[in-house]
Amino acid sequence: MIAMVLALFAGDAHAWQVRTNESGDELRWHKRSIHYTIDTSGDHGLSPNAIDAMVAAATRNWSTAVDTSLAFVHDGSAPGATDPHDKKNSIYFDEDWNHDPALVGLTFVWSRPDGEIVGFDMVLNANDHEWSTDGTEETNDLLNTVSHELGHALGIDHSPQFEEATMYPSTFPGEVAKRDLDADDEAAMRYLYTGDMDNPEAARAGCSTAGTPAHHLGWLMMLPLLARRRS
């Protein structure tokens, strides 16, 4: 059985942070092509074309932010599911959300014991939140959320210090600031995928995890984006 753990904040406030397993290995992809599928079904009020376009824009945010030679590849439509063994990286909406209703999205990251990420599944809360693609007030902007959740899929944790960062841990209705990466987010990408050690102490402040490994997959992590009221 694969263990499930919640993301926790590190004790000290830092800028960007990366995920580590219980052995201290930082989580990152070794492959340079990350394939994904999208399930556009559900009562979320968005067209399939709009969803595809917003997800594609979010993948470009991360793959072109710095010169990493990392690429996301859209493999078309497929039924969404959270399954570490189906060899699919799914992005889908959940109308039967049984997690905290304040959460707008969760990303489950699957990795080997040495920290190599081998898969992810991203689920978006279509039960408790209204969605849009243009930052309409009182709705959750899809590009805003998917950009944040893809950061988790790449091994990046929350950036609790900078509210303007894509990886800041909360959002509010109508927010679009997370659509574009902040310098803090780009620094995390350089560290994980180009070997840039410009901020090693922040990297090693990543949140701890716990659990027991099973089969070839070491951990399952649940990384939330929390909705909050507009201040």
Residue extents of the structural domains in the chain: 4-227
130 band by pLDDT with thresholds 50, 70 and 90: very high
The answer to whether residue 229 scores a pLDDT higher than 70 is no
Across 93-107, 147-161, 194-208, least confident range? 194-208
Mean of the per-residue pLDDT values of the chain: 82
Classify residue 116 as left (phi > 0), alpha (psi -120 to 50) or beta.
beta
pLDDT at 105: 94
Top mean-pLDDT range of 21-25, 67-71, 153-157: 153-157
Tokens describing residue 95: 């109308």
Q: At the topology level of CATH, where does 4-227 sit? A: Collagenase (Catalytic Domain) (3.40.390)
User: How far apart are the C-alpha atoms of 137 and 172, rounded to whole Å?
Assistant: 9
User: How far apart are the C-alpha atoms of 50 and 141, rounded to whole Å?
Assistant: 12
Tokens describing residue 205: 């402040």
182-211 pLDDT, tens digit per residue, is 999 999 999 999 875 444 443 333 332 222
Q: What's the rounded mean pLDDT across residues 4-22? A: 57
User: How far apart are the C-alpha atoms of 132 and 143, rounded to whole Å?
Assistant: 9
3-class DSSP assignment, residue 20: strand
Indicate the Cα dihedral angle 25, 26, 27, 30, nearest 10°. -90
CB count within 10 Å of CB 48 equals 12
Q: What's the rounded mean pLDDT across residues 45-56? A: 98
pTM for the structure as a whole: 0.83
The answer to whether residue 12 scores a pLDDT higher than 80 is no
